[in-house]
Structure 1
Amino acid sequence: MIEYVPVIESPCMSLCVMDEASGWCLGCGRTLDEIARWGQTDQADRDAVMAALPARMERLEGKAL
């Protein structure tokens, strides 16, 4: 019997470089802790992180200007 394994949506952009000041990934905006637990945490935690990412990315992009 083949077991169904759900695909977990990820914001990963394969640009894994951490911003030293904020601790956020320049590609996706997550912290190292968030990245490490992504596959094991529950959907509510992933949703909360996903909700925070647009503001984080905006702040990171603003630093580059």
Structure 2
Amino acid sequence: MSPELPSPVPSPCINVCEMAPETGLCRGCLRTIDEIVAWGGASEDEKRAVWAEIRRRETQIQWD
């Protein structure tokens, strides 16, 4: 099951917390700092929207 489907929606954090200056995204969870800060107060729908954005970002990354 995709992590964005259950309720409550789980955090995408994998405890690799390092912001990449070239992208502005966390190298662990691919969220912006604003998305990370807002996560705790976000609705389930907002969290699912963040997950959708993470999935979109994953398709654009050049993985080594």
Q: Structure 2 length as normaliser, TM-score? A: 0.74
Unmatched segments (≥5 aa) in structure 1? 1-5
**Greater gyration radius:** 1
Deviation at 1:43, TM superposition (A): 1.1
Deviation at 1:7, TM superposition (A): 5.5
Q: Quick one: distance in 1 between partners of 2:19 and 2:60? A: 14
Unmatched segments (≥5 aa) in structure 2? 1-6
Q: Quick one: distance in 2 between partners of 1:16 and 1:37? A: 16
Q: Greater relative contact order: 1 or 2 (C-alpha under 8 angstroms, separation 6 or more)?
A: 2
Q: How many residues are aligned here?
A: 58
Residues 10-49 of structure 1 aligned to structure 2 (within 5 Å): 10-49=11-50
**Residue pair 2:25, 2:32 contacting (<8 A) in 1 also:** yes
Name the % identity: 34
Deviation at 1:40, TM superposition (A): 0.5
Deviation at 1:52, TM superposition (A): 1.1
Structure with more strand by fraction:
2
- Indicate the RMSD between aligned Cα atoms, in angstroms: 2.0
Letter aligned with residue 50 of structure 1: W
Q: Quick one: distance in 2 between partners of 1:8 and 1:47? A: 7
